[in-house]
Amino acid sequence: MNLRKPGLTLYGLFIVMALLAAAALLLGVAVSSILVFLLIYAALAYSINFITGMIGYVDFGHVLFMAIGSYALATLVSYFGANPLIGVGAGAMLGLVFALGIGLVILRFRGVYFAIATVVLVLAAYNIVLQLPQLGEGGEIIFNLTFQPLAPYFTIWTIVLIEIALTYYVNRSRIGFGIRAIKSEEDAASSVGVNPQRLKLIGYMLGGLFAGAAGGVYAWSTSGVTAGPAFDFTVSLLMLAMIIIGGVGTSIGPLLGAVVVYIPSYFLLTSVAQAQPLLIGLLVIIMALFLPDGIVGLLRRSNKRLRLALE
């Protein structure tokens, strides 16, 4: 284990998380019901960061795992009266398992083909879900849990905390070195003692695990799941937008991206609803063309001290 001492980034992130926890406890339900979605977005951003940000395989279909998590929680709570935390756990487990199975097949495909395969899987899954009456009529399940906003809030808060720690650790450890090797030149990676197949699969599985958990919390917070919105590509695209804007592969990037994507939407929500995705699209275009390593990359390149501090 070759870990340098944790840097400013990690402390900074923990402080932000502490602030988020305090905000929920002190500022009341109104604030926590907004912030819970911020945390869900962040969880999704960190999850896609493992496979797309770090390893470089663009996953357009990542919403699949979120949907799996949502349906897992919805069925367990609605049909078996299970505790929602079990639902979240189930979502995470199922996300992991599906990612393993799917990843074994499609991670062999080159870049663009992998991306398309992920898209195809979402569409196939959507159609299959509609075929299964166990998953609700028309894929819609509604349930009634007493409104307890703090429970899902701290669940997703814990999930994001774990993801931050994991991302940070991976980036700094030898695994991170291996991942970066895959990203720059996959074929050469094995010559430096890296096993690309295994690392890709692990990254994809982590992505599935956390997206599944986030999906479970999402269903918890919206008291249900409906097929159309659950498999909506816009969510996948937003996940990608968050890491592109924040900075792919970094530890801060996903959280930063989630803030940039989500917070303005709260204000724009009550005026022109379409403005947010429009602006996000514009921002992504600009970022992709001029700033491929996101806000974090921009900051790192501008100042030597920031380069050392931000990861």
Q: Residues 6 or more apart from 158 whose CB is under 8 A from it?
A: none
25-29 long-range contacts (CB < 8 A, ≥24 apart) are 25/150, 29/149
Taking the complex as a whole, the smallest distance from the CB of residue 1 to other proteins amounts, in Å, to 25
Taking the complex as a whole, the smallest distance from the CB of residue 137 to other proteins amounts, in Å, to 4
3-8 long-range contacts (CB < 8 A, ≥24 apart) are 3/169, 3/172, 3/173, 4/172, 6/168, 7/308, 7/309, 7/311, 8/309, 8/310
Taking the complex as a whole, the smallest distance from the CB of residue 14 to other proteins amounts, in Å, to 26
| Residue placing its CB nearer to other proteins in the complex, 15 or 124 | 124
Strand partners, 225: 141
Taking the complex as a whole, the smallest distance from the CB of residue 39 to other proteins amounts, in Å, to 13
| Residue placing its CB nearer to other proteins in the complex, 11 or 120 | 120
Residue 145 has a CB neighbour count (10 Å cut-off) of 14
Taking the complex as a whole, the smallest distance from the CB of residue 185 to other proteins amounts, in Å, to 9
| Residue placing its CB nearer to other proteins in the complex, 14 or 264 | 264
Taking the complex as a whole, the smallest distance from the CB of residue 206 to other proteins amounts, in Å, to 19
Please, what's the largest Cα pairwise distance for the chain? 58
| Residue placing its CB nearer to other proteins in the complex, 11 or 185 | 185
Three-state SS string across 184-226, please? Answer: HCHHHHHHHCCCHHHHHHHHHHHHHHHHHHHHHHHHHHCCEEC
| Residue placing its CB nearer to other proteins in the complex, 6 or 111 | 111
